[in-house]
Structure formats: C-alpha cells, structure tokens
A and B are shown apart, each in its own frame.
Chain A
Amino acid sequence: MVALVLGCTMSLITSAGLTLRLAGPAAVYWSFVPLAEIAALAAVCWPERRRRPFRQVVDLFFAGHGPWLFWLIGLSAIWCFAPPSRAFAFTRVWLYGAGAIVIVWSAYIDFCFFRFVMARSPARATRDLLLQRLVSWALIIAIFGGPAIPPEVVARLGARLGP
C-alpha cells in the first residue's frame, strides 16, 4: 500500500494525473522506503520472531502509516488542483507544517505499536521507536539526499568551509 501510494504520488505531483508510465516505475524504485522501514523494524523486533511471526509484525506496523499516506495524498492534491505558480508556496506549508504534525502523530502511533502490540515497557518502547526511526530515516535520507547532506549540514550549522 505504501509503495502504491508513493508511486501514484510521484505521478500526480509531476503531471497532475495518474499515468502508468510514471506511477508504475516510481512505485518500484520508491519501494526502498518501505524496505528501509522493514529493515529497521527487523533490527528492533527480529529477536521475538518466534513469539509473533515477523510478517504479522510488519503488517501491523504498516497499519499505522495512515498519517504518512494522507500527508502524501494531500501533497498530491496540491499539485492536482493548484496552479504551479501557487503550488510551490502551498507545498512549503504542507511539507513543513503538516509534516511536523505527521512526524509527531506517527511517532505516537508507533510508540503505541511497540508498547501494546510488542508488549514493551514505556522506556523500551521509546528506545525501540527511536532506534527504528534512526535506522530507517538514516537509510531513506542517505538514498534520497546523498552527497548534498554534508554541505547542507555545514551550512545550517554556520560552519566555515573546509579546504
């Protein structure tokens, strides 16, 4: 489901419509996002695979992705209905404003996942949530952003250029 929505989103934000040409391939190469999340989930939950099958854990974890999916659909709607000259400004608000809400909301959902589905203590659930985020987001950002990240970090920290 995540890969499908991602593929459709890439098509909609580019061409304001769904085309097989864009949505199909994008769903394939953007599946690195759910794969990175599964890898991170495995890093956290793999030891308990005998108590609960990992496939079921993955299914339950992704059932909590509603906020992210609706955030992507909102982004798609901006580029479907707003003229491009205005869509850039709307996108900035949506990316940072709604994005901040989604980050907090999804963190709460995933905390509940670790707390109640995986039966962790509050401290352990928090640790697992942070570890899952650290691993998956590091992978996703590295693949998506790549070599521009160090200078962007340097720029934000206000550091001086290297030699």
Chain B
Amino acid sequence: MTALRWIASGLLLASLAAGTIGDSPRAHPPMILGGYRVMAADFHVHSFPLSWATLSPWDTAIEAQRQGLDAIAIVGHNHVWVSKVGRWFSRRWGGPLVLTGEEIVSAHYHLLAIGIDSTIDWRQTAVSAIREIHRQGGVAIAAHPLAGSWPAYDAQARQALDGAEVLHPIAYESADLATQLRQFYGSAPLTAIGDSDYHGLGPIGICRTYVFTKEETQPGILDAIRHGRTVVYDRAGRAYGDPDLIRVAAADGRLPRLDSTPAPSMFSRIAAILGLTAAAIAGLSLPGERDGQECHKVK
C-alpha cells in the first residue's frame, strides 16, 4: 500500500505541476468592429453554492478570464447574492466584467434576469417576471426555451422578452433540441444569445455571445442586448443575430474567436486520472491496514 501511495503522490504532483504551470490566461487584445467594442460574454453562469454548480464565484470569475471571456453574468437559481459576491471579487481582482443576475427557475419556465439587484420571486407568470426585471433596469432572456416551456411564453411575454438563448450546450446533444431553440428565437423579434449554462462541467463560454457595445460596462452591455447588437456562432459556423453586424464580422474575419487557454497535455490528463485512481485505492484501506496492524475485513 505504501508503494501505491508513492505512485499516486508522484502522478498527482506531476499532473498538478504541469497543469499549474500552463494555467496562465492568453493575451486577449480588445476587438473593435463597426465602431463597437466587441465583448465575448456568457450570460448564463452558475456558481457554488445554491445553484447546482461546482465552482465558487471567485473561481468562476478567474476561470471565465482563462476562457477568454470579457463579461459573464453569474445567475443564482432564484437568488442574486452569489452574483454580487462574484462582481465584488472580480472588481477587486481585475477580472472580467461580472453582471449581477438571477435565473428565475419556475415550474414552467426558466428566465435569465440580467442586471437586476434584488431577487425576483419565481411564483409568478413569465410576463409579470419580465415586467419586474424591466422595472429593476435589467434585461430578460429566455433560458434554454425548449418546446416544453413555450406555453409559459404567451404572445405578451414574447413581445416583452429582450432575448432568447438560440445556442446552448443542449444543442450539442440533439439536433431536435437545437431546432427547438432556433424555432423559439425565430418566433419573435429577440436578441440572439449563446450561453453555456455553466454548472461546472466543461469550459465556461463553450457557447458564447459577441456583444457589440458602446462602452465596456454593465449598462453598455444591457443597452446592446436591448437593441439587438449581438452575434452568436454555432459549431457549424452558422451565425445568428443582427444581420448587419454578421456581415461586418464576416468581412473582418476575426470572429468567432475563443482565446481559451489550451487544455493540458495528454500526459498530464492521464497522470491525473491514474494518480487519483491510485490515491483512491490507497486511501480506501482500512484504518488497521494503514497503521500496519492486523485488521479484520469488515466490508
């Protein structure tokens, strides 16, 4: 068991060293297009605790920068306080712009409230929730609006919405789900949004929105969403959003850009998995075995 522990420690340390050394974010020069500052944003990011997410707000902000994002909205499930913690940290640390927000998780719809300050009650219709978001100065984005949630968005609600997620990781799972997102987006004049709905799995910003802003601030981003100044690319290269901006971006040729820190080497990844497995096996020895004493097998 001692040899196994040495092997586990060696593999984990080697992987940790390789991962940590290669962890610095890439240079991320600002992009100007058509007279606007283009910001890469993800408006659907969850943080630990209370939102089924794995990373703390501060780790989330750092990770967003590592993935080349200029702005994120940390949206707690039915609460805003975690997003305020994230915003406070990112301002202090010099990280990406963190917008405050909430994902209103109701029984019938999920709605992103971006740029609000107070928690909005989930026990109301979509249209009344959207009114409350607007009253607080925020924007309302339909989160992963699959067919099951369409009845919650009546004509009045769709007119009041500012945007809808036309791209979301569920689009990678099934062509049918991707079609449903596109159909909802096409059902009303909505701003195109691409979000990763980040809960800790995979990179933040795997789906992202390019926002064409007049200023790099929360009001600047909210204004761009209200006026439809966004472009979203799916993995097939199809673009959604303002047709003029899509043309400008196509002529320029720099979008989509990811600017993510490259994944660690294969050696580092294999070492991590083998090291963890060896550590788990070594760590699961019974207390008597660990101390080199006689121990009765009890399990």
Whether B50 and A143, one on each chain, are in contact in the complex, defined by CB atoms closer than 8 angstroms, is: yes
Interface check B203, CB cutoff 8 A: yes
List A contacts of B12 (CB < 8 A): 8, 18
Complex interface: stretch among B17-25, B156-164, B237-245: B17-25
Contact with B along A48-65 (1 / 0, CB 8 A): 000000001001100111
Whether B299 and A88, one on each chain, are in contact in the complex, defined by CB atoms closer than 8 angstroms, is: no
Query: Given that A8-B276, A18-B268, A84-B203 are contacting pairs, would A65 and B49 also be in contact in the complex, using a CB cutoff of 8 Å?
Result: no
Contact pick for B59, options A25, A81, A92, CB 8 Å: A25
Interface check B175, CB cutoff 8 A: no
**Residue of A19, A26, A87, A152 most packed against chain B (CB within 10 A):** A19
Query: Given that A8-B276, A85-B235 are contacting pairs, would A15 and B50 also be in contact in the complex, using a CB cutoff of 8 Å?
Result: no
Interface check B269, CB cutoff 8 A: yes
Whether B107 and A80, one on each chain, are in contact in the complex, defined by CB atoms closer than 8 angstroms, is: no
Whether B286 and A22, one on each chain, are in contact in the complex, defined by CB atoms closer than 8 angstroms, is: no
Whether A10 and B105, one on each chain, are in contact in the complex, defined by CB atoms closer than 8 angstroms, is: no
Once bound together, how far apart are the Cα atoms of A144 and B77, in whole Å? 11
Whether A1 and B279, one on each chain, are in contact in the complex, defined by CB atoms closer than 8 angstroms, is: yes
Once bound together, how far apart are the Cα atoms of A154 and B56, in whole Å? 27
Contact pick for B269, options A80, A89, A154, CB 8 Å: A80
List B contacts of A148 (CB < 8 A): 50-52, 77-78, 103, 105
Interface check A122, CB cutoff 8 A: no
Interface check A126, CB cutoff 8 A: no
Interface check A13, CB cutoff 8 A: yes
Interface check A155, CB cutoff 8 A: yes
Whether A154 and B51, one on each chain, are in contact in the complex, defined by CB atoms closer than 8 angstroms, is: no
Interface check A45, CB cutoff 8 A: no
Interface check B263, CB cutoff 8 A: yes
Contact with A along B25-63 (1 / 0, CB 8 A): 000000000000000000000001111101110110011
List A contacts of B50 (CB < 8 A): 143-148
Contact pick for B19, options A19, A64, A65, A91, CB 8 Å: A19
Whether B280 and A5, one on each chain, are in contact in the complex, defined by CB atoms closer than 8 angstroms, is: yes
List B contacts of A163 (CB < 8 A): 123-124
List B contacts of A98 (CB < 8 A): none
List A contacts of B298 (CB < 8 A): 60, 112-113, 116-117
Number of interface residues of B (CB under 8 A): 62
CB closest residue in chain A, given B148: A155
Interface check A77, CB cutoff 8 A: yes
Query: A residues 112-163 with Cβ under 8 Å of B?
Result: 112-113, 116-117, 143-148, 151-152, 154-155, 159, 161-163
Interface check B202, CB cutoff 8 A: yes
CB closest residue in chain B, given A118: B298
Once bound together, how far apart are the Cα atoms of A128 and B266, in whole Å? 44
Shortest B112–chain A CB gap in Å is 13
**Residue of B12, B59, B63 most packed against chain A (CB within 10 A):** B59
Interface check A70, CB cutoff 8 A: yes
CB closest residue in chain B, given A17: B264
Query: A residues 77-100 with Cβ under 8 Å of B?
Result: 77, 79-81, 84-89, 91-92
Interface residue ranges, A against B (CB under 8 Å): 1, 4-5, 8-23, 25-26, 29-30, 56, 59-60, 63-66, 69-70, 73, 76-77, 79-81, 84-89, 91-92, 109, 112-113, 116-117, 143-148, 151-152, 154-155, 159, 161-163
Given A76-B276, A84-B172, A151-B122, 17 additional A-B pairs, CB 8 A: A15-B23, A16-B263, A17-B272, A18-B272, A19-B19, A21-B23, A23-B16, A26-B54, A63-B285, A63-B286, A66-B284, A70-B280, A79-B201, A88-B172, A112-B299, A113-B298, A148-B52
Nearest first, the 5 A-B pairs at minimum CB distance are A146-B50, A17-B264, A148-B77, A1-B283, A17-B19
21 A-B pairs with CB atoms under 8 Å apart are: A1-B279, A1-B284, A4-B283, A10-B54, A13-B54, A15-B63, A15-B261, A25-B58, A59-B286, A63-B287, A76-B273, A80-B272, A88-B173, A91-B201, A112-B298, A113-B298, A145-B52, A146-B50, A146-B51, A146-B79, A147-B79
